[in-house]
Structure 1
Amino acid sequence: MNNFLGEIQIFGFNFAPNGWAFCDGKLLPISQYAALYSLVGTVYGGDGRTTFGLPNLQGLAACATGRGTGLQPYALGENFGSETVALISNELAGHTHVANIFLQNDTTQRFALPTPGSSPVAPATATPFASSQTSNGSFAANFVGPNVGGQPHANQQPYLALNFCIALQGDFPQRP
């Protein structure tokens, strides 16, 4: 079976097979690859006079063109998404964190690194325990709170290192 010119396939080895090129955004001369240029044009870069670009799928996930149910439309060659995201407070689901604590009245049993039967030393500038509570009580209302620092976290799909390659030669696809 022959492949089509401009067809993109995934390969599990570290080289592009004969007649294929990595989808790495490289610019190619139109004069040498006129048939492939007639299919992809300058969608992926190039000046359209002497060069055109190959798709760049390095570290990216491929997506079909068009509009899926409930999704926005995507155009051929469009890049979107982000490798990192910083969440804001209204994007976080409501939740709580339980902290099991106890009040150690014996100050000789308070240590920076607690051991069984001891408790951590409270910072000098904070009152962590509600004054009306007894042992095994709650933190003061202002001691624990939301901390949305806007720090980005990784936002990548699970991945396996593979190479996307485009056919530089093959059967010219016929339009339906």
Structure 2
Amino acid sequence: MGWEFRDGRSMQITNLEILYALIGVTYGGDGVTTVKLPNRNQTLQIGQGLGVGLTNRTMCKRLGEADSVRLSRV
């Protein structure tokens, strides 16, 4: 209770008023009745910002490609 999966679903703002106050329609939704949750399926979340010698990272930007790296057990 009190949390949702970050799977990109569209949800009613009335069910997520505090989250909506924080993120608005950053991830989608109409901002009147619906808000979309962030979609973090098959992704790794990183912080946003710019550091010395680093590339600027903005909120909500998806990087890389799904299934682009194959991992194997040695």
TM bucket, shorter chain: 0.7 to 0.9
- Which residue of 1 is the match for residue 52 of structure 2? 69
1:94-109 alignment runs, 5 A limit: none
CA distance in 1, matches of 2:66, 2:19: 31
Aligned pairs, number:
71
Q: Secondary structure of the equivalent of 2:35?
A: strand
Structure (1 or 2) with the larger CA radius of gyration: 1
The amino acid that maps onto 2:7 is: D
Higher RCO (CA 8 Å, separation ≥ 6 residues): 1
CA distance in 2, matches of 1:32, 1:73: 33
Matched, 1:33 2:13: no
CA distance in 2, matches of 1:57, 1:31: 22
The amino acid that maps onto 1:155 is: V
1:26-175 alignment runs, 5 A limit: 26-83=9-66, 154-155=68-69
Q: Give deviations 1:113-162, integer Å, cap 9, x for gaps.
A: xxxxxxxxxxxxxxxxxxxxxxxxxxxxxxxxxxxxxxxxx336x6xxxx
From the two aligned structures, give the one with the greater helix fraction. 2
TM-score normalised by length of structure 1: 0.37
Q: Secondary structure of the equivalent of 1:36?
A: helix
TM-score normalised by length of structure 2: 0.78
% identical aligned pairs: 35
CA distance in 2, matches of 1:83, 1:25: 16
Query: RMSD of aligned C-alpha atoms?
Result: 1.9
Unaligned segments of structure 1, at least 5 residues: 1-17, 85-153, 159-176
From the two aligned structures, give the one with the greater strand fraction. 1
Runs of 4+ residues deviating >3 angstroms: none
